[in-house]
Structure 1
Amino acid sequence: MSVTNLEYLFKPKSVAVIGATNDPRNAGNIVMRNIMAGGFMGPVMPVSNTAEAIAGVLTHTSVKHLPKTPDLAIVCSPLDEVPEIIHSLKERGTRGAVLMGSGFASMTHEERLDIKSTILGIAKPPEIRLIGPKSLGFMIPSLHLNASLAHSDAAPGKVAFISQSDSLFATVLDWAKAKGVGFSHMIALGSRIDVSFADILDYLGSDPFTRSIMLYVESIKDAREFMSAARAASRNKPVLVIRPGKALDTVLGDLKLRETGDHRLVDAVYDVAFRRAGMLRVENIDGLFDAAQTLGTPKHVYGNKLAILTNGTSAGIMAADRLLDGGGELAELGEETIAAIDEVLGEKNWSRANPVDIPFDADGTMYSAVLKLLIKDKNSNGILVMHVPWTAQPDMEVARALRDSLKRVKRMVLTAWLGSGAAEESREVFRKAAVPTYDTPTHAVRAFLYMAEYLRNQEMLIETPDSLPSDFFPDTETARATVAQALQQDREKLNEPEVKDILAAYGVPVVDTRIAVSAKDAVIAADELGYPVALKLRSPQIPQAYDVGGVLLDLETPERVWEGAASILARCTRERPDAYIEGFTVQKMGRRPGAHELFISASVDPVFGPVLAFGHGGMAREMIQDTALTLPPLSMSLARELVGRTRIASLLKGSPPQLPTDIDDICLTIIQISQLLIDVPQIISIDINPLYADSEGVLALGGKIRVAPYLDEGEKRLAIRPYPRELEETVTLKTGRTVTLRPIRPEDEETHRAFLANLSDDDLRLRFFGVVQRNFDHKDIARFTQIDYDREMAFIATAHDERGMPETLGVMRTNTKPDNTEAEFAIVVRSDQQGSGLGSILFNKGICYTRQRGTSELIGQTMIENKAMQGLSKKFGFVITPDQHDEDLVNMVLDLKKGNS
């Protein structure tokens, strides 16, 4: 939906409690007591027909009798009374409501749909924003607002927690109190008939008082909205998520969340979606807070190599084991570091390796001296300092010494003070100094690994993908025609020649295949293909011909083919007399000695749409269970990351005497299948197994494809909108130069860097409203070139220079609100191209695009001295007004709906 009117929910100046009561077990009484106890400074107005006063506050008999319009209404009345209440609130002008009343859980599925439709029809979000039904409410500690049914309040802080579960809401609240963690927001979403995870992520992603966001997610309703909001929020601040996983999927199976695809992959699909959105998934509540503590610091971890400093050898070994089990590495100490520690401790008084075990009675001075040496060593990505209590050495003395030595240190240093009592006092010293601290080595190492994984996920968001091969031109029409023919014949499964035709149309090398309906036809097909051949039984009742001995390989003569067909028929008649025999598949033998057997498959998840899988293939695929998943669309970098998450990836690197496998060809094949799913949305599953791969490339022996009718555009079923190739066009400038207008792509990073470098100082100042440093780093350029096409658009004008190299001449950007009511634009043309008409062409392109997607207004700002920009905007019908907050700026607004009339 959008963030429209969410401020009335989360920044209310007045609150009404509808259905308030003096019954201490009733929601209307609990929430009234919580609001009053919290100390909310605005008016609190209970509405009740049964009590004169509740929690010391006089009541009102109805919404229309309230002395003022409440920003927020907490509705505790039974759900069947809610439609009438929402109607009254709407008449009063209330913009936010939380539905806490009973009744939703006891309704049937049809009754829930009916009451949902009725409530939404009256509220018409975003006119009134709704949380719930079946919501526990929320807390905004900075406002002293506890509008929840929780048993206690939350301390103020910088962490936001959004939960789909009421029970976990209460559990996290208790956990946070024990950990000393405060919150900016705690929100229980309930049944989400309006406000969703995506809405909250959009709202909190730009909230200056929220440093990190934690989610408890069981299911997602709109994958596209969720992914866009999550990707946007995680670019600004850490977003952590916990999901129960396999047990939850078993419980929810009856709710038909898995009507298609592999049931075992439901949680794995959520996992890859979280990773693709740049979020960090954690295992449990404890891990949620451990990760939040580490990610809340301004220090980063750019790898998984950890140095461990401890006064207890066994504790150090425990930490090292946890690190290695979790996929981390023990940092190898540099020779200079070892020599320097020798001078501090003595060569025989420590391990001379990592973990660094100093004497058990080491004092603060010794700890600090060794730590400073480890900080200087660049071989590690972080340092864990551990302390085992010893009677003769006070914990606090060591803690204070380390705290003082870390005041200006930029490296990531974590601490783990073992024990309780005095150890807890030491941990408090570190907390106040913003040094991540934990009570066990396991928690500390887990937090470090979480941070390393989080940074890897973030790098995926801003990594510059390798360019796709320029000669990849799939024959989409052939693929679509083949699928259309099967659908016209009411067939769900394509035969092998059809599969081969589709794969070949998308550039996947395949073995020549023929269909034969008899032994005689099989011999004819083998003669055409050339020997040796493979012969395979075709029967709809026998999906795996190997099971009945229905596959013969290396048949080298017509006689062998004839005899083989007869023996397969005899075996099948004996073992499966019920099976209908369609004939045989005859295939040219694919000779790839020593090649790895891989697989690429795809299915359609009911929530996230098409999902690609890759891994170790062959007949042992199910036994090996080496699979990684990803969501299309893909770049070469994302495909390479997918391959790297499998165990077989290490074998693909090669080892004497075997040459390394052509990884680029594997990645290209994955991308080709990804593009096929986008271009031909009638395809609901693909399975290529085996896919041979070696140093010469890949070869598919065949595959399976299932199809079903699908009338909409292919990109609409994807969780992430792909590159909109249909928006490309060629135009001619006044100078006669031909340029291409197209959406920007991630691989445009280098040309965009050169484009910015070629802008004059004055153009840069007018574009960015002030003096700008020219040294844009990778993160800056990535934000310009790696955009979410669902919310952003950047049209670039590109052409080739005199050397034949691509260059960017100008760019028009739009950034659209999630509810599509408004888009903000910015435009800049390279200084030497101004006056060529390119500015008008780009401006018109952006206006047409936003109007076509149904956006209501296109708005922008420019400096009052930028007369050229103002003149251009007037040419296209923009209304220009002075900015009320800054006298140096003017606002430009175009009513796009008016332009349609």
Structure 2
Amino acid sequence: MTIRNLDALLQPRRVAVLGASDRPGSVGATVWRNLHGRFQGELYAVNPRQPALGVPVARNVAELPHAPDLAVICTPPATVPGLIAELGARGTRAAVVVTAGLDATLKQAMLQAARPYTLRILGPNCIGMLVPHLGLNASFAHAHAQPGAIAFVSQSGALVTAVLDWANDRGIGFSHFVSLGDHADVDFGDMLDYLGSDPRTRAILMYVESITAPRKFMSAARAAARNKPVVLVKAGRSAQGSRAAASHTGALAGADDVFDAAIARAGMLRVNTLQQLFLAVEVLARFRDNRSERLLVLTNGGGAGVMAADAAAHMGVALATLAPPLQQALDATLPPNWSHANPVDIIGDAPAQRYVEALRILRQDRDSAILFIHAPTAIVPADTIAEALLPLATERPPRVLGCWLGSGAVAEARARFRAAGVPDFATPEEAVRAFAYLRQYHRHQEQLLQTPPAPPGIGLDLPAVRALVDQVLASGREWLTEPEAKQLLAHAGIPTTPVRTVGPDPDAAAHAAQALGFPVVLKILSPDITHKSDVGGVRLNLHDAAEVRSAAQAMLQRVANTRPDARLEGFALQPMVQRRNAHELIVGATIDPLFGPVILFGAGGTAVEVLGDRAVALPPLNVALAEALIERTRVARLLRGWRDVPPAHRPSIHAALLAVAQLLADVPEIAEIDINPLVVDAQGAVALDARVRVSAQRPGGAARFAIRPYPAELIEVIPWGGDTLTLRPIRPEDEAQHLAFLERVDPEDIRMRIFYSRRSIEHTELARLTQIDYDREMAFIATRVRPDGGEETLGVVRGICDPDNDSAEYGILVRSDLKGRGLGRILMDKLIRYLRAHGTRRIVGQVLRENTPMLALLARLGFAIAPHPDDPDLRLVELPLQTPAP
């Protein structure tokens, strides 16, 4: 389930409290007290002993005068499943189960009782929920919430009451306050789907302990984050419980890193504490449109400026350098002893006009945000300064962050800034942290809306990879030998060094080295030794046969001493790669138990786990996302080059990351990949060592991706009037091509098809059209090859499913010069076939009454056509897709 019947939960007109009580201190009494006299709809009480509540009390559900939209259940655990069944049969479609103590059997019985009626359940074992604008406090919280535009959703009931108390003390209001409890039915994905499109909610805050349906969560989060800020606190930052990791990737990719990667990919923001949660909301709600990367600090106290500068250095926020024209203007305005740098200290005796002039000059740097810090003085009252600054501080787009240091002396000034919509913070450190959150949020949004260039060709020889994996599994092994692992990488298009293998014979190793050419690398070959360096099983830069023979003998002895249990298959030899100014990197993959396949990148080599310089990302990847992954590491700075060291060849790193992502999608048997080191310089990259683990349990594959990858299996090539037409899902790389297509559609055709009259389309709109969540939306484009060999788009059809996959709203557009050639029918047929296979129940849409060609096409396709009840110029169209069950 998703948003089905959530309106009954969150917008009820009639509410019943089952277990309403007059017993002081009971949950039933507290819930009734919180609702009675405040809820704006009808309120009923149910209790077999009919306590004295000042209103009629029904003995059971059947006695209620009307079926409640929402029931709040405060009765013993054993009664819950039966009550849910009674409520569902009566017509109730939502329940808050406050009751705790339901065991697994009772929970399952409760869900089974709800299923025939699609009755939605919040809880069990939850505080309840509050919807302040309805006066709805269906909870046993100790206080009511003030109305506002922030939604808070929490797994922890204790935090619900703590945050409620904290927010009331600061005058923060909410659109919704929801405790999920055990989230047996309604979960974070459901709430994100509902709140993401709720007009009363401006921002969504969450306290998360666990996610149970990762793909649903990611789809809902990506949809909600496109509309409004989503900020969360995730409990459990500590690493997973210790386990014996057989690869560096398995050891490095902790659950918390993976969760961070998921949050970034979904365009959300994660913070560490509840206080930071509200800091982030303050800056996102009031300052979201500011995209500055640097900060200017304007203050009347040198110490406060230093504190801001220290915080900026600690949090990676760059302070802007004053440009010479600004420096000169400030010199002409400020006293000679001003700081002459950023932070700009205008001295404590500054009158109000000095503040105004300094702020006016700093606003000329349009690439920087301005943090204004004021400490109270006896020279000018703080509220006078605030009033003088407000005309500049409130100019759009927003440029100014406020920080009024102190309490009573600055209370009025702070209130004026806040009332005018200027974000305000209690300390310089809070203000800088909030600005850092803003930058991080915008970077996550860029990942959500980015439009990458076309990916490089990935030379994956899938049949060869499959044959190799099947051979290893048939032999009863999970770990590939190093030669097999390199062979697999070569089949995936990742350059590797040639490898020769011999038995455990030093003379044979010397002969093989001569055939390869010196210098060479000698490695032990054993199915029981994964990290060869740990047992002295690697020797580099051997220059002749004698060195190889001696090294092999010594290696056999060391392994015999340190790992007498290990089976020795022999030696592997490869050419010694000697590249000046090369970097050792690691590229890996593992399977996260929650989010599925994960890709790791970072600084490699034997000290990889000591350095700990890595980042993880969720597949699927493209070039832009691969680059974002690289940039989250410290080694990225080295890869840019320095002094006489040229930049590393980034495309070869991108290609390796994309190849690993493709392997994870196409070969579900792959459980771990470890390429360490991947050596890269200005000429390219080569894998010097690799470890790969496979499993017959098929833990990976595209089906396990938390984000559905590009559905290449839906590509279809068909003949079309002497030409060849490709029907395929749209992809982010199609933005430029899609813009060219739209430019060849007449404005009148755009108006007739999609009620859109503007000819120009912004990048963000194009990104939303081309970068879609394939789990919930599908857009097929019809393309053909141009005479110059490029590709052009001829038409597009789009189906956007509701979160329940009950209905999909369609839209179709064909290039104006190609109308009348059957392209519209081809596209509609493609969409209908897809949505039917996807399980969507029906296609719906609205068509202008004057658009007779479209109405005629839809009639031929079997759509029912009816007048719109509210607009005579529109027609409603609908096509059932699924055969009703007998």
Which residue of structure 2 lines up, in the alignment, with residue 756 of structure 1?
A: 742
For 1:559 and 1:408, locate their aligned partners in 2 and report how far apart those are by CA, in whole Å: 78
Are residue 367 (structure 1) and residue 324 (structure 2) matched? no
How big is the shift at 1:428? Answer: 1.2
Secondary structure of residue in 2 paired with 1:297: helix
For 1:831 and 1:265, locate their aligned partners in 2 and report how far apart those are by CA, in whole Å: 52
Which residue of structure 2 lines up, in the alignment, with residue 12 of structure 1?
A: 12
The 3 A distance-change label for structure 1 pair 883 and 466 is same
Which residue of structure 2 lines up, in the alignment, with residue 43 of structure 1?
A: 42
For 1:571 and 1:456, locate their aligned partners in 2 and report how far apart those are by CA, in whole Å: 50
Are residue 280 (structure 1) and residue 257 (structure 2) matched? no
Contact 1:100-1:133 at 8 Å conserved across structures? yes
Contact 2:449-2:771 at 8 Å conserved across structures? yes
For 1:172 and 1:605, locate their aligned partners in 2 and report how far apart those are by CA, in whole Å: 32
Which residue of structure 2 lines up, in the alignment, with residue 95 of structure 1?
A: 93
Are residue 341 (structure 1) and residue 330 (structure 2) matched? yes
How big is the shift at 1:489? Answer: 2.0
How big is the shift at 1:804? Answer: 2.5
Which residue of structure 1 lines up, in the alignment, with residue 779 of structure 2?
A: 794
Are residue 224 (structure 1) and residue 215 (structure 2) matched? yes
Contact 1:4-1:126 at 8 Å conserved across structures? no
Secondary structure of residue in 1 paired with 2:36: helix
For 1:713 and 1:850, locate their aligned partners in 2 and report how far apart those are by CA, in whole Å: 26
Secondary structure of residue in 2 paired with 1:622: helix
For 1:116 and 1:488, locate their aligned partners in 2 and report how far apart those are by CA, in whole Å: 43
2:341 counterpart (346, 353, 363): 353
Secondary structure of residue in 1 paired with 2:648: coil
Which residue of structure 1 lines up, in the alignment, with residue 449 of structure 2?
A: 462
Aligned length in residues: 880
Secondary structure of residue in 2 paired with 1:898: coil
How big is the shift at 1:712? Answer: 8.7
Contact 1:22-1:51 at 8 Å conserved across structures? no
Contact 1:261-1:605 at 8 Å conserved across structures? no
Task: Give runs of aligned pairs for residues 261-272 of structure 1, distance below 5 A.
Answer: 261-262=250-251, 265-272=254-261
Secondary structure of residue in 1 paired with 2:775: coil
The 3 A distance-change label for structure 1 pair 524 and 878 is farther
Contact 2:300-2:375 at 8 Å conserved across structures? yes
Calculate the TM-score normalised by the size of structure 2: 0.96
Secondary structure of residue in 2 paired with 1:340: helix
For 1:126 and 1:767, locate their aligned partners in 2 and report how far apart those are by CA, in whole Å: 38
Contact 2:93-2:119 at 8 Å conserved across structures? yes
For 2:269 and 2:30, locate their aligned partners in 1 and report how far apart those are by CA, in whole Å: 35
Secondary structure of residue in 1 paired with 2:869: coil
For 2:360 and 2:15, locate their aligned partners in 1 and report how far apart those are by CA, in whole Å: 54
The 3 A distance-change label for structure 1 pair 679 and 115 is same
How big is the shift at 1:411? Answer: 3.0
Which residue of structure 2 lines up, in the alignment, with residue 107 of structure 1?
A: none
How big is the shift at 1:289? Answer: 1.0
Are residue 677 (structure 1) and residue 677 (structure 2) matched? no
For 1:580 and 1:565, locate their aligned partners in 2 and report how far apart those are by CA, in whole Å: 16
Which residue of structure 2 lines up, in the alignment, with residue 161 of structure 1?
A: 152
Contact 2:671-2:700 at 8 Å conserved across structures? no
Deviations 1:58-86 (A, max 9, x none): 31111111111000000111222111110
The 3 A distance-change label for structure 1 pair 78 and 527 is farther
Which residue of structure 1 lines up, in the alignment, with residue 725 of structure 2?
A: 739
Which residue of structure 1 lines up, in the alignment, with residue 526 of structure 2?
A: 539
Say which is worse superposed, 599-608 or 169-178, in terms of deviation: 169-178
Are residue 188 (structure 1) and residue 179 (structure 2) matched? yes
How big is the shift at 1:592? Answer: 2.2
Are residue 212 (structure 1) and residue 212 (structure 2) matched? no
Letter of the structure 2 residue corresponding to residue 216 of structure 1: Y
How big is the shift at 1:858? Answer: 1.0
How big is the shift at 1:299? Answer: 5.0
Are residue 430 (structure 1) and residue 417 (structure 2) matched? yes
How big is the shift at 1:263? Answer: 7.8
Letter of the structure 2 residue corresponding to residue 314 of structure 1: G
For 2:353 and 2:117, locate their aligned partners in 1 and report how far apart those are by CA, in whole Å: 61
The 3 A distance-change label for structure 1 pair 458 and 853 is same
Contact 2:671-2:699 at 8 Å conserved across structures? no
1:323 counterpart (312, 316, 319): 312
Contact 1:2-1:126 at 8 Å conserved across structures? no
Contact 1:299-1:412 at 8 Å conserved across structures? no
The alignment-based identity, stated in percent, is 46
Say which is worse superposed, 139-148 or 353-362, in terms of deviation: 353-362
Contact 2:240-2:254 at 8 Å conserved across structures? no
For 1:632 and 1:713, locate their aligned partners in 2 and report how far apart those are by CA, in whole Å: 11
Letter of the structure 2 residue corresponding to residue 892 of structure 1: V
Which residue of structure 2 lines up, in the alignment, with residue 574 of structure 1?
A: 561
Letter of the structure 2 residue corresponding to residue 278 of structure 1: G
Letter of the structure 2 residue corresponding to residue 59 of structure 1: V
Which residue of structure 2 lines up, in the alignment, with residue 52 of structure 1?
A: 51
Which residue of structure 1 lines up, in the alignment, with residue 827 of structure 2?
A: 842
Deviations 1:569-610 (A, max 9, x none): 222223333333232222232232331111011110011011
How big is the shift at 1:803? Answer: 2.7
Deviations 1:193-219 (A, max 9, x none): 111111111101111110111111111
How big is the shift at 1:559? Answer: 4.3
Letter of the structure 2 residue corresponding to residue 44 of structure 1: L
For 1:542 and 1:403, locate their aligned partners in 2 and report how far apart those are by CA, in whole Å: 68
CA RMSD of aligned residues (A): 1.9
How big is the shift at 1:8? Answer: 0.2
Say which is worse superposed, 724-733 or 686-695, in terms of deviation: 724-733
Secondary structure of residue in 2 paired with 1:600: strand
Letter of the structure 2 residue corresponding to residue 52 of structure 1: P
Which residue of structure 2 lines up, in the alignment, with residue 808 of structure 1?
A: 793
For 1:878 and 1:217, locate their aligned partners in 2 and report how far apart those are by CA, in whole Å: 44
Calculate the TM-score normalised by the size of structure 1: 0.95
Where does the alignment leave 5 or more consecutive residues of structure 1 unmatched? 105-110, 255-259
Which residue of structure 2 lines up, in the alignment, with residue 257 of structure 1?
A: none
How big is the shift at 1:391? Answer: 2.3
2:509 counterpart (500, 508, 522): 522
Contact 2:674-2:690 at 8 Å conserved across structures? yes
Contact 1:599-1:617 at 8 Å conserved across structures? yes
For 2:252 and 2:177, locate their aligned partners in 1 and report how far apart those are by CA, in whole Å: 32
Are residue 718 (structure 1) and residue 717 (structure 2) matched? no
For 2:695 and 2:566, locate their aligned partners in 1 and report how far apart those are by CA, in whole Å: 24
How big is the shift at 1:332? Answer: 1.7
Task: Give runs of aligned pairs for residues 318-717 of structure 1, distance below 5 A.
Answer: 318-346=307-335, 348-380=336-368, 382-469=369-456, 471-519=457-505, 521-523=508-510, 525-710=512-697, 714-717=701-704
The 3 A distance-change label for structure 1 pair 64 and 262 is farther
